[in-house]
């Protein structure tokens, strides 16, 4: 008995040196779909999505309990629910109400190319709101995090950041928030930069940085204070570093692999080949003229006349 007690104490002592594992989400959120008959097949397709995808979003935002079911409405163009969105918007979410509205006729539109990605994006908004306990979340952070939760980060995103930077230069987070309401082009640019900045934060401060920030908001901290507590740096400093150090992949890989660059390289190669061919032709003609002049000189010296 005494030996067993000693062994148990040793095991507890050893285990106490290891951090407790982070609590995983207990279950994914329930999605309750509502759709007219015309969208019945689409509804069935969305209902079959792997629920593990919702659990991954919960882990990203640091949510252990999913909360009440989320209502997902699939609405036709022209309906009252569709008119609540801007004409370029494909969906919207009301986090406090646990409501997602999809307008399938408007898909695909950047940043989400499929209806499945749109659904993940909007469900992420609801889960972000729940993780923050409905405290205000800056639009750029909300959208950038929802983008990452829906589909990660791809070449199109890098290309948009590249061209926007080359054409318009850097921006500010406050300007990004305003651009979401300034029309489809400005909104797409704001999505791209917001996604890039959230990706930068995840790379710099860890995959759980969003969860730590939202946890601070849930404790009623301001976003700037929640950000400083989660990252150990000021938001303004992180923003400056982001704009100053857009990494190599974001700046140059899209440029090097874009269709425009490809055709430019092909055109330049064709021009170089054309000039070389012209130079070779001119050199050959000069050689022929030289040989012809020498031949005519030899014939005239013999007194032969045509």
Q: How far apart are CA 52 and CA 139, in angstroms?
A: 26
pLDDT per position as a tens digit, 131-173: 999 999 999 999 999 999 987 656 565 666 665 555 555 667 8
Beta bridge partners of 74: 102
Q: Mean of the per-residue pLDDT values for the chain?
A: 79
Look at residue 108 in the predicted model and tell me its pLDDT. 78
Average pLDDT, integer, range 278-304: 57
pLDDT per position as a tens digit, 199-240: 999 999 999 999 999 999 999 999 999 999 999 999 999 998
Q: Are 112 and 82 in contact (CB under 8 A)?
A: no
Look at residue 75 in the predicted model and tell me its pLDDT. 97
Look at residue 165 in the predicted model and tell me its pLDDT. 59
**Full-model pTM:** 0.71
Assign 183 a pLDDT band (cuts: 50, 70, 90).
confident
Quick check: helix, strand or coil at residue 31? Answer: strand
Q: How far apart are CA 223 and CA 210, in angstroms?
A: 11
Which of 25-29, 37-41, 134-138, 293-297 is predicted least confidently? 293-297
Average pLDDT, integer, range 45-55: 94
Give buried/exposed letters for 228-242 (b at 16+ CB in 10 A, else e).
bebbeeebeebbeeb
Residue 265 reports pLDDT greater than 60 = no
Give buried/exposed letters for 123-160 (b at 16+ CB in 10 A, else e).
bbbbbbbbbbeebebbbbbbbbbbbbbbbebeeebbbb
Average pLDDT, integer, range 106-125: 88
In the chain, where are the structural domains located? 21-131, 137-258
End-to-end CA distance of the chain, in Å?
Answer: 130
Look at residue 177 in the predicted model and tell me its pLDDT. 81
Average pLDDT, integer, range 102-119: 87
Beta bridge partners of 109: 112
Residues 6+ apart with CB under 8 A from 253: 155, 158
Look at residue 304 in the predicted model and tell me its pLDDT. 35
Contacts 24+ apart (CB under 8 A), 7-10: none
Look at residue 176 in the predicted model and tell me its pLDDT. 81
Residue 258 CA, distance from chain mean position: 17
Q: Are 174 and 190 in contact (CB under 8 A)?
A: no
């Amino acid at each position: 008995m005494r030996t067993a007690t000693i062994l148990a104490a040793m095991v507890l002592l050893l285990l106490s040196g290891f951090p407790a594992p982070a609590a995983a989400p207990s279950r994914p959120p329930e999605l309750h779909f509502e759709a007219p008959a015309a969208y019945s097949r689409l509804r069935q397709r969305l209902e079959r999505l792997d629920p593990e995808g919702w659990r991954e979003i919960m882990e990203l935002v640091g949510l252990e309990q999913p909360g009440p079911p989320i209502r997902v409405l699939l609405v036709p163009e022209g309906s009252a629910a569709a008119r609540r969105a801007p004409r370029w918007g494909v969906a919207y979410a009301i986090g406090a109400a646990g409501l997602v509205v999809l307008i399938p006729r408007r898909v695909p539109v950047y940043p989400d190319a499929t209806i499945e990605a749109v659904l993940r994006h909007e469900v992420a908004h609801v889960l972000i709101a729940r993780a923050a306990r409905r405290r205000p979340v800056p639009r750029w952070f909300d959208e950038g995090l929802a983008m990452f939760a829906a589909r990660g980060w791809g070449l199109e995103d890098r290309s948009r950041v590249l061209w926007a930077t080359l054409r318009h230069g850097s921006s500010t987070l406050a300007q990004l928030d305003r651009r979401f309401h300034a029309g489809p082009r400005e909104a797409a640019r704001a999505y791209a930069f917001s996604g890039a900045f959230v990706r930068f934060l995840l790379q710099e401060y860890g995959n759980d940085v969003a969860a730590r920030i939202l946890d601070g908001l849930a404790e009623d901290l301001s976003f700037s204070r929640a950000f400083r507590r989660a990252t150990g740096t000021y938001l303004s400093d992180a923003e400056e570093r982001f704009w100053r150090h857009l990494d190599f992949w974001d700046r140059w890989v899209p440029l090097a692999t874009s269709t425009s660059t490809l055709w430019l390289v092909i055109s330049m190669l064709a021009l170089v080949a054309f000039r070389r061919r012209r130079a070779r032709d001119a050199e050959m003609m000069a050689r022929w003229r030289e040989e012809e002049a020498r031949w005519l000189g030899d014939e005239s010296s013999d007194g032969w006349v045509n």
